[in-house]
Amino acid sequence: MRMPRVGSCCIGFRAFRYKWNRLLLLTLVFCASRSRASSGAAIGSQTLRTVAHIRHLAANALNQRPEVRIRGVVTYYDPIVPNLFVQDSSGGIWVDLRSTPTIAPQPGQLIDLSGYAAPGFTPYIDRPKWKVLGTGKVPKPVPLTYEQARTARFDSQWVEMEGVVRSFIQQAEGDVLVIDVVTPGGNFKVRVPGYHAPFPMELVDAKVRFRGVCGTAFNRRNQIVAIHLFEPTLKDSMVLEPAPPDPFNIQATSIADVGRFSADLSDLHRVKVVGTVTARFPQRGLFLMDATGGLYAESQDGSPVEPGDEVEVIGFPAAGNYTPVLKSAAIHPLRSHHDLVAAKITGRMALKGGFDAQLVTITGTVRGYHQQSGVYTPVLESEDHVTFQAVFRGQLASDWLGSIGSKASVTGVCSIKADDNGNPSEFQIVLRTPADGKVLSSPPWLTARRALL
């Protein structure tokens, strides 16, 4: 019996349609590959005309070093690296001047810039040449938070950021004023080149808006480690909330309350504490105590104070090894003096954390000395079998607290170190003078080793 022809016709049509679809697919793949090849060739030979085009290039395209030619305004320049940033209507970019000995253009100038795109943390312009066309219009700044700046999306862009000013330093090279600014998200540095005036101390503890180029410091793995704002002049700053006229004329905070969360972000500003000095380390800082606890204030203030003096201290709260510390502190001596009484503690009491930054006395047995850079630090075991170190920042004899096995007493400031979960894991006793360590008894002559002889 014959099969109907319609079936064989249907089978033939399916075979023809399969071959046609396959041929069409191969043709599309061939055309796409030709298109990609021609596109790659175009990137290699086409002159890039906008910053956005440069910044969006893939790494393989940047490796071809395509030519660029843009017209933009100079937003920042300093001769240190040197740093030159230029921005057009599509964005900003860093220009590498390290191999260009000519005089650089200045902020505010409109330039016709040519060179070659190159890969880096973000793309930049290499081997630049330019022509100054006149004065340009500074772009409108993009308001940024610290968290947005950390994304690196706005690297090299003209932006504005706000924060509370904490301190200043002056870099000799380039006379760069570096301003430390804190925000709820983190700290950033404002860099102002060619600064020759006195420090603007009126800005300390003020909330300020800064306008400049957003920059990122990164390591060899191209990972962000810090945020910088490159500000052409201090005139690009605006005070939003001035600092108190008299920084000491603010309400005192108990030491136990320093660094606690505040919904109004008042913890970004300076606080004042009143207490008794327990240890003073010139050009580094001091420890003080009140009825609620102890605290370390980092300060280069040269105020003449001694242990036992009552003082007012203002500073910015910051995280310490266990409890908060005060940074950039200033000291105001009061007229009262108190006799200091150290709390007698054991090793286990210290590891509970309640005596951090407080004056204590503890006894133990010398188990050895740790040597580093010519400094011998005794390692002791407390009577309740907790190991700790007695730290004195000075060069003393290798057995200044007695030979191994001696029983000793040390008086100083308890300094706690926390583990990754914030719990006390170890402690040191920071001695003020060598006299804070006393040998109570020499090691016994009859030891377990001698008994076996």
Q: What is the pLDDT of residues 32-44, one digit of tens each?
A: 333 333 334 334 4
**Amino acid 29: pLDDT:** 35
Residues 6+ apart with CB under 8 A from 127: 96, 99, 100, 115, 116
pLDDT band at 202 (very low <50, low <70, confident <90, very high): very high
Residues 6+ apart with CB under 8 A from 67: 47, 48, 114, 115, 116, 117
Mean pLDDT, rounded, for 411-434? 95
**Amino acid 263: pLDDT:** 52
Mean pLDDT, rounded, for 90-107? 90
Q: Report the share of the chain in percent with pLDDT over 90.
A: 71
Say whether pLDDT at 97 is over 50.
yes
253 and 288 in contact (C-beta within 8 Å)?
A: no
pLDDT band at 224 (very low <50, low <70, confident <90, very high): confident
pLDDT band at 264 (very low <50, low <70, confident <90, very high): low
**Amino acid 33: pLDDT:** 39
Mean pLDDT, rounded, for 378-406? 90
Say whether pLDDT at 107 is over 50.
yes
Other C-beta atoms closer than 10 Å to the C-beta of 293 total 18
The tokens describing 451, both together, are 């008994």
In words, the CATH class of domain 51-135 is mainly beta
What CATH fold (topology level) applies to the domain 255-337?
Answer: OB fold (Dihydrolipoamide Acetyltransferase, E2P) (2.40.50)
CATH code for residues 142-241: 2.40.50.140
> b/e map of 8-29 (b: 16 or more CB within 10 Å)?
eeeeeeeeeeeeeeeeeeeeee
Say whether pLDDT at 355 is over 90.
yes
Say whether pLDDT at 24 is over 70.
no
For 114-118, 363-367, 373-377, 446-450, which range has the lowest pLDDT when averaged over its residues? 446-450
Ordered by start, the domain boundaries in the chain are 51-135, 142-241, 255-337, 343-441
In words, the CATH class of domain 343-441 is mainly beta
pLDDT band at 432 (very low <50, low <70, confident <90, very high): very high
**Amino acid 243: pLDDT:** 95
The Cα 195–Cα 171 span in angstroms is 10
Same topology between domain 51-135 and domain 255-337? yes
The Cα 181–Cα 184 span in angstroms is 10
**Amino acid 259: pLDDT:** 83
**Amino acid 198: pLDDT:** 93
Mean pLDDT of the chain: 86
Token look-up 């030519």 returns 67
Say whether pLDDT at 376 is over 70.
yes
The Cα 424–Cα 420 span in angstroms is 10
Omega cis (within 30) before 82? yes
